[in-house]
Amino acid sequence: MSHLKPRILKPDQEEVAPQTEPVKTYRVRGIPYFQVLNNVGQPVVEPPDWAQRKNPLVALYKVMLKTRLFDQKSVALQRRGQLGTYASSLGQEAIGAAIGCSMQTDDVLFPAYREYAAQFSRGVSMTEILLYWGGNEQGMNFQHQDKDFPICVPIASHIPHAAGTAYAMKYRGQRRVAVCVFGDGATSKGDFYEALNAAGSMELPLVFVINNNQWAISFSRKHQSKALTLAHKSVAAGIPGEQVDGNDVIALRQRIGLALENARDGRGPTLIEALTYRLCDHTTADNADRYRDSEEVKNQWVNDPLVRLRKHMQILGLWSDQEEKDLNSRYLAEVEQSTRAYLQTPPQPVSSMFDYLYERLPDALNEQRNAAMDQGHQNG
Ligand SMILES: Cc1ncc(C[n+]2csc(CCOP(=O)(O)OP(=O)(O)O)c2C)c(N)n1
Ligand SMILES: [Mg+2]
């Protein structure tokens, strides 16, 4: 899988960038940038063999489409007051799809909160994700996935956990890999630097994937760091770092797959910066029009990762309008069915917000639990 070579842009090349600003950072100081398809689905380098066959491409497309349809429904449910806050993955589906399709069953995923595509690929259900954002802890008690970690909303706090898990895998001599996903904003946190350093010094089987969607709520990538690329942060840790077009699922699948192989074979960690764009608000509790130029967002739609892969498959004659229609209907029905299952799930008792934190609840929290229960009875 290693024949994909970095694409070094010439100074006068202007296309390609999935984001508006730092085109020139792609070719600075030794950080390679990888892309296979341009935004109209045409290869810019010879695609890997697997990417010329129908099944692997359709597998990636399926999970991206499912995620997109799930996402639309989730936002609608929130707007109708049937879901709590929801974090959309609009425009960023390729990252999760590539991760999910690259990992092996025994590997462990540490998601942040936009990696539904990876979670769906690994057996988490749409109903579970809805339950989670609906405030039901059972949404993280995955019925068909007992290895991966739950959604992590505290920024970067899961990255040291991933390093610890990768250390355990190495210590036990297992051929397993931890994959940790987090945002551009998370790379400013101490947790990130500590985990990166530990992974480098101990040569841990750990793949770090930055979903660089150019925004940390209202804080832009430009303000986040003076680093020329976020991948440069790998240099100080002594591990390989690279940028990949985060809207190009083929390049992502290829590079993440290779990083996993390297980690599994004892060659240590990799830092992958996936360059994408947050086409949605930060969450449903945000209104990005307050701080972000709507023109910028409009311009980014040309990089839609689903359209790119679909066009590529159509160019190769591997995908028809009928197949597209059928898959849409199938997933729309699945989304509706999952929504019904979510809405029919009885709410958890008030006590559930205390019950999964500690093996034995500390006294102070026990008092709060009792008070909340009393309150619940009075209201109920
Ligand atoms: C430890 C911590 N500090 C602050 C927050 C509030 N917060 C929620 S999302 C966010 C921005 C994260 O940006 P980024 O890492 O780029 O991820 P994105 O939301 O863009 O995927 C912040 C600061 C938090 N959730 N956790
Ligand atoms: Mg971000």
Nearest CA to ligand 1 atom 25: 154
Q: Check if 221 has its Cβ closer than 6 Å to any atom of ligand 1.
A: no
Atom of ligand 1 nearest to the CA of 189: 1
- The CA distance from 94 to 45, in Å, is 19
282 carries an active-site annotation? yes
pLDDT at site 378: 60
For 220-237, letters b (16+ CB in 10 Å) and e give: ebeebeeeebbbbbbeeb
In the chain, which segments carry CATH 3.40.50.970?
A: 23-348
Indicate if ligand 1 lies below 6 Å from the C-beta of 274. no
Estimate the share of the chain in helix, then strand, then coil, as percent rounded to the nearest 5: 50, 10, 40
Residues 6+ apart with CB under 8 A from 156: 182, 186, 187, 189, 190, 191, 192
Query: Could you say which ligand is closest to the alpha carbon of residue 114?
Result: 1
Tell me, using a 6 A CB cutoff, whether residue 186 lines ligand 1. Answer: yes
Ligand 1 atom having least distance to the Cα of 155: 26
Which residues fall within 8 angstroms of residue 361, CB to CB, at 6 or more apart? Answer: 354, 369
Q: Looking at the domain 23-348, which fold is it?
A: Rossmann fold (3.40.50)
Burial 34-49 (b: 16+ CB within 10 A, else e): bbbbbbebebbeebbe
Contact 6, 251 (CB under 8 A): no
Dist. CA 91–CA 38, nearest whole Å: 15
For residue 260, what are the β-bridge partners?
none
CA of 211 to the centre of ligand 2 (A): 7
Assess whether 377 carries a catalytic annotation: no
pLDDT on residue 342: 98
Q: Which helix (H) or strand (E) holds 219?
A: strand 219-220
Parallel/antiparallel/unpaired status of strands 219-220 and 241-245: unpaired
Out of 291, 340, 356, 358, which one is annotated catalytic? 291
Q: What is the pLDDT of residues 292-309, one digit of tens each?
A: 999 999 999 999 999 999
Residue 315's CB is within 10 A of a number of other CB atoms, namely 14
Q: What is the pLDDT of residue 356?
A: 87
Residue to mutate (ligand 1; options 155, 184, 208, 212; most atoms within 8 A of CB): 155
**Residues bordering ligand 2, an ion, CB closer than 5 Å:** 183-184, 213, 216
- Pocket lining: 114 vs ligand 1, CB cutoff 6 Å: yes
Give me the helix-helix angle, 249-264 and 305-315, nearest 10°: 100
Establish whether residue 91 lines the binding site of ligand 1, counting it when its CB lies within 6 angstroms of any ligand atom.
no
Contacts of 294 (CB under 8 A, 6+ apart): none
Query: Are residues 187 and 230 in contact, defined by beta-carbon separation less than 8 angstroms?
Result: yes
- Token pair for residue 33? 């940038």
Q: Which of 176, 221, 278, 310 is catalytic?
A: 278
Ligand 1 proximity of 217 Cβ (cutoff 6 Å): yes
Q: Is the pTM of this model over 0.85?
A: yes
Place of tokens 């995923």: 109
- For residue 339, CA distances in Å to 115, 118, 128, 270 come to 19, 20, 10, 37
Q: Identify which ligand lies nearest to the alpha carbon of 218.
A: 1
Residues 160-184: pLDDT tens digits?
A: 999 999 999 999 999 999 999 999 9
Determine the Cα–Cα distance for residues 152 and 162; give it in Å rounded to an integer.
12
Q: Choose one of 19, 85, 217, 275 to mutate for the ligand 1 pocket test, by most ligand atoms within 8 angstroms of C-beta.
A: 217
CB 213 near ligand 1, within 6 Å: yes
Q: Rounded to an integer, what distance in angstroms lies between the CA atom of residue 335 and that of residue 329?
A: 10
Return the ligand number nearest the Cα of 87.
Answer: 1
Q: How far apart are CA 141 and CA 102, in angstroms?
A: 23
Atom of ligand 1 lying closest to residue 224 CA: 16
User: 243 - beta bridge partners?
Assistant: 33, 273
The response to whether residue 215 sits with its C-beta less than 6 Å from ligand 1 reads yes
The pLDDT value recorded for residue 30 is 83
Burial 332-346 (b: 16+ CB within 10 A, else e): eeebeebbeebeeee
Q: Which pLDDT belongs to residue 28? A: 54
Helix-then-strand count for the chain, H and E: 14, 8
The residue whose C-alpha atom lies closest to atom 3 belonging to ligand 1 is 155
- Which residue's CA is the nearest one to ligand 1's atom 26? 154
Residue 117's pLDDT is: 98
Atom of ligand 1 nearest to the CA of 283: 19
Q: Which residues of the chain have pLDDT under 70?
A: 1-28, 376-380
Q: How far apart are CA 194 and CA 191, in angstroms?
A: 5
**Distance from residue 218's CA to the centre of ligand 1 (Å):** 10
**Backbone conformation region of residue 316, classed left if phi is above 0, alpha if psi is from -120 to 50, else beta:** alpha
- Amino acid 4: pLDDT: 54
Which entry of 68, 282, 308, 310 is annotated as an active-site residue?
Answer: 282
